[in-house]
Amino acid sequence: MAATQDVDFLVIGSGIAGLTYGRLVARQGRTLILTKKNRAESNSNYAQGGIAGAMSDEDSVRLHAEDTLVAGAGLCHPDAVETLVTEGPERIRELIELGADFSMSIGPDGHTVLALGREGGHSRNRIVHSADRTGWECERTLLAAVRDLPQLTILEHYFVLDLALDESGRCAGAYALDPATGETHLFRARAVLLATGGCGQVYKHTTNPAIATADGVAMAWRAGADIANMEFIQFHPTSLYHPEGQSFLISEAVRGDGGILRTANGDTFMENYHPMGALAPRDIVARAIHAERLRRGEPCVFVDVTHLDAAHTRKRFPTIYERCLELGIDITRQPIPVVPAAHYQCGGILTDLDGRTSVDGLFAAGEVACTGVHGANRLASNSLLEAMVFGHRAALRATEVADTPTGNVKPRSSHGGPLPEPARTAELVTRLKDTMNDLVGIVRSTTGLETARESVGVTASELADISLASRATPDLCEAVNVGQAATLIIESALRRKESRGLHFTTDYPNPSESERHDTVRRAAGAQERPQ
C-alpha cells in the first residue's frame, strides 16, 4: 500500500516552467515540486543562448510574432504566438526584478541597457542573455525566489512513475518512487502540472542532459492525454563534435555574434541554402550541414570565430570556451567542429493557452507541452520564454479550478518481482537510440520509418515486459518512457505525408496545404476534456 500525502498543487519537474508555476500557486495553497534529480538539474539549466523578447525600441511584438510564424513553417497557432510575444516582455522584466543578472551594455544615450543578441531566424537583436549560461541564471533566480516560500516544498530524487486518476478520469496526483527507500508514495493534489522537459535521450546524439527521457509525455499518454506533433524534433545544427567528448551545445548565439560555418577546407556554404546564411532557421541549417557532410564524406563542419576579437569571445562565451579548451580546442585560434544533434521537442502534450490538457486536472508547460507556439520548427530562444509565459498562465488557471473535488484514486498495480537486469535494459535502450538516429533523424523516408516502427516496437515491447515482471527502478522506468516516446515520434512521422519544418521525408519532399494541420494522437478510451 502506497504511503499517501495530500497537497493542493503538485508540480512534476523543477525547470523554469515548473518553478514559474510553483512560485505563483504556492500563494494559494500547499505546493509540492517533485524532481528526479537535484532541483537545479533540468533542460532549462543547459540553455545557453537566451530568452527572446521585444525589449528595445528597434523591435516590436509584431516583428517577433512574424519571425516566430516564419520559423514555424505554417503550423504555429497564431493565438499562441500572439500570447507568447505579447506577455513575454513582462515575464522577462519580472525575472529581472527577482534578481536575474543579464548581460548589459551602454546604449547610445549613455545609459545601461540590456545587451540584446541575434540568433537564427530573428530579424532584430532581441536575445536577452547572461553570457552563454542564460538557462542557469534563470534557474538560479527562480530557485532563490521560491526558497523561503512557506507553502512550497521541493523533494529531490523522487521518480514519478505514473499519474494518479480518480474514477472519473480526472488527474488527482501522481505515484512516485523514493529510490532511497524503494517505497512508492501517492501524492494527491487538486491540480497537477507536468513540467518534465523533453525527449532528447530518445536519440544517440543529443545536447540534452541525461534526465531528458520523455517521462512527461509517456506518463500523460498512459493517462489518456492528447499528444501532438511529436514528429517535429529539432536537431540543433551545431553540437560539438569530438570523439572523446559528450555532445555539447555550441550556441546559436556564436553564429549571431559573427561565427562563420565552414567545411574542412575552409569554404562557406550556407549562402547556397538560404538568404539568411548561417542565421537561417535551425531546420534549414541542420539539413544543410547534413547534406554537406554526406556530399563531402566528412564527419563534421566547423564554426569559425577565429576572426573575432579573442578577448570578446572569451567574455561572451566563457562556458563554451572553457569546455572546448578542456578538449584541446582553443576556439579563438581553431574552428569548432560541429554536427547536428537532437535538441528540442516541438510537439508534446497538447494544451490550450492556459496549460490545460485533455485530462481534467492535468496541466503541462515548457518543453513537455505542445502549445502551438513552435509549429513545425522552434524559433531560437523562444523556449525559455514559452516556459515562463505558459507556466505563468497555467498557474493562474490552476488556482481558479483547483477547488474541484477529486474522487477516489485508482490504485496503481505494483510488481514485486526481481530487480531488472541493468545490462539488458541498457542494451535495449542503445539499440533503440541507434535506430532512431539512423532512421528517424534529420532526413527520413517512409521505408526507413516503417523499419524503425518494427524495430522500436519490438524493443519497446521487451522493455514493457521487463517492467511488468520487475520491481520499478528509475533506469527501467526511463527506458520504458523512451520507448513510448520513440513510438509516438515514429507514428506521428508516418502520418505526415509532406515535408514541413523539422520533418523532412524524401518521399514527400515538399509541403502540402492539405497536410497543414497538427498531428494529434489520442489514446484509446481517452475522455473529452470538460469545457
Active-site annotation, residues: 282
Q: How far apart (Å, rounded) are the C-alpha atoms in residues 173 and 211?
A: 21
- Widest CA span of the chain, in angstroms? 70
Identity of residue 256? G
Question: DSSP string of 244-266?
Answer: TS---B--HHHHHTT-EEE-TTS
Q: Where is 164: in which H helix or E strand?
A: strand 159-165
**Residues in contact with 382: Cβ distance below 8 Å, sequence separation at least 6, in sequence order:** 52, 68, 84, 373, 374
Q: Which amino acid is at 455?
A: S
Which residue in 529, 457, 430, 468 sits closest to 220, CA to CA? 529
443: which 3 cell numbers?
532526413
CA distance 501 to 499: 7
- Residue whose grid cell is 523561503: 148
CB 505 within 8 A of CB 494: no
Among candidate residues 352, 421, 285, the one with its CA nearest the CA of residue 83: 352
The type of residue at 398 is: A
Whole-number Å distance between alpha carbons of 350 and 373: 11
SS3 374: coil
Phi and psi torsions of 120, nearest 5°: -60, 135
By the 8 A CB rule, do 470 and 417 touch? yes
